[in-house]
Amino acid sequence: MIKHLAQVCFLIQLFICFFVCQVCLVLWMQSPSIFHWGTTSYAFGLLYTQITLFVASVMPERYIYQYHDTLQTMHRSRYLIECFFLPSFIWIFLFTPHNFLGLVNKPIGATVKMGAAGVHLFISLWAAKTCATYQFTMNATMGVLVWKPCRFFREMLYPTIISACAAGAYAMGELWMNNSPYLTILALAYYFANTKGRLQGKTFPGEVIWQQAISILLLISILYLVGITVKCRSLIQCVAMSHDGIGVPMFLKKPPMRF
């Protein structure tokens, strides 16, 4: 019963991740800004993680033990993808349309881009090197067997810590400019959900579900706060509305519409 509940949660989260990824992707293709690249990169990282978790939840136990090494490699790839995609939050914060730091369309922006790219690449490679070679162990959460590192070294968590700090800085900007406190709560929840138990070497019941849920909710909240919305007439007739009023069809190829 608990495993079936976990499967339903993973499936719902998978559909939400796919939908958010589609929104970010079509807006990035229409307006290839750094902010849209950051949201698309972060969203695809969440989508890949959600796919691996859903596959693990529906995999029969006999296949888990029969293809043990293959499934372990799949879960290892999930952590490797996170190493490279989670720091994308740096770009979301630095080049948000709200322009907290005044970096958008400024000459200093080029210097900041090179610095952010260097930090992103260094942190990602450092964490990925450890995740690629360290031993993994099997854990059960809500009846679902998943693989995770036997121990989380601090360098493995640097991508998560960097993304949490960027999310916290973004939340502080929203609190200062728009008096919006709930994003601060989400940023704190994101930090503790993804680092607290890992640093202590503990596994909490259903942690992979609420870790993903908080991450998805954080991204959706930021998209909404910058003015990105979705209008749908049906499941396949949806338009992603950018912050500058341009509507881009998500599934049917039609010219962009300005509202």
**How far is the CA of 85 from the CAs of 40, 70, 106, 113, 249, in angstroms?**
9, 22, 26, 16, 26
Band (259; pLDDT cuts 50, 70, 90): very low
Q: What's the pLDDT at 146?
A: 82
128-141: pLDDT as tens digits: 988 888 888 887 77
Tens digits of residue pLDDT in 207-225: 788 888 999 999 999 898 8
**Architecture of the 2-251 domain:** Up-down Bundle (1.20)
Average pLDDT for residues 35-62, to the nearest whole number?
89
Nearest in space to 10 (alpha carbons), one of 41, 46, 45, 39: 46
- Cβ contacts of 175-178, under 8 Å, gap ≥ 24: 177/98, 177/100, 178/225
CB 92 within 8 A of CB 39: yes
Q: Give the residue with greater pLDDT, 248 vs 44.
A: 44
User: What dihedral do alpha carbons 156, 158, 159, 163 form, nearest 10°?
Assistant: 150
Question: Can you give the pLDDT at residue 104?
Answer: 59
Q: What is the pTM of this model?
A: 0.87
As a whole-number percent, the residues of the chain with pLDDT over 90 amount to 17
Question: Which pLDDT band holds residue 62 (cuts at 50, 70, 90)?
Answer: confident
Domains in the chain: boundaries: 2-251
State the chain's mean pLDDT as an integer.
Answer: 82
pLDDT attached to residue 13: 92
Question: How does residue 114 score in pLDDT terms, banded at 50, 70 and 90?
Answer: confident
pLDDT of 255 over the 50 cut: no
